[in-house]
Amino acid sequence: MNTNTPPLLEAITRGDRKKLRELLDRKIVEIDRCFENGETPLILAISHGYTDIALLLIARGADINLSNNKGISPLMAAGEADNYDLFNLFIIKGADISLRDSQGENALHKTARLGHAKPVQLLLQKGLYPHTKSGYGQTPQELAQANGHKEVVSIFKNFKTTEQDKDLFTMDVESLEDEFDRLKFDVLLGPEIINKG
């Protein structure tokens, strides 16, 4: 990185959790300020595959609904990256599943197009309308079909919400909340402290 690179951008793109924690502790960076390229810190961490960095940003108060300059939300970014753990976490934390990007797509369009079955199922269970059309007039099912994702197409064709589905989802959310509390603790303290115990 060159000397003009903002410290927050450098820490995230390098996956430097120690440096990021230091910057956040000193409160010299704005956790939700978009970089010049239009990316948010949280979305940048997700797109680089740094789940631990993303968790640290979330634990420190990053806005889980703040979209980048293309309208991509953190939920959409996690769905596109096929990071189901973060995707679930955003749902648990109350992310707005109905947000749309500059192409008129929501998270269901994006995950269906890429063939990511588990996020598609979760969004349907959470009540996201499966027949919403994008800015180009395509439904999520049509995007899955056009890209050859038979499993996802089948999910749309067979989707029915039952009481059993709701009960299973509730149990899954409770276990994920426990896992988030553990991860949040790990991220805040860092491995150097946890491993001493």
- The pTM of this model reads 0.79
Phi, psi of 76 (to 5 degrees): -60, -45
Quick: pLDDT tens for 87-146: 999 999 999 999 999 999 999 999 999 999 999 999 999 988 889 999 999 999 999 999
Q: Which residue has the higher pLDDT, 164 or 49?
A: 49
- Model confidence at 21: pLDDT above 90: yes
What gap in Å lies between CA 63 and CA 94, rounded to an integer?
A: 11
State the CB neighbour count (10 A cutoff) for residue 154: 12
Domain count, the chain: 1
Q: Is 40 part of a structural domain of the chain?
A: yes
3 state SS of 32:
coil
Q: In this structure, is residue 111 part of a structural domain?
A: no
CB hemisphere CA count around 71 (13 angstroms): 13
Domain of residue 47, residue span: 1-83+179-189
Q: 180-189 pLDDT, tens per residue?
A: 666 655 555 5
User: Domain containing 1 — which CATH number?
Assistant: 1.25.40.20
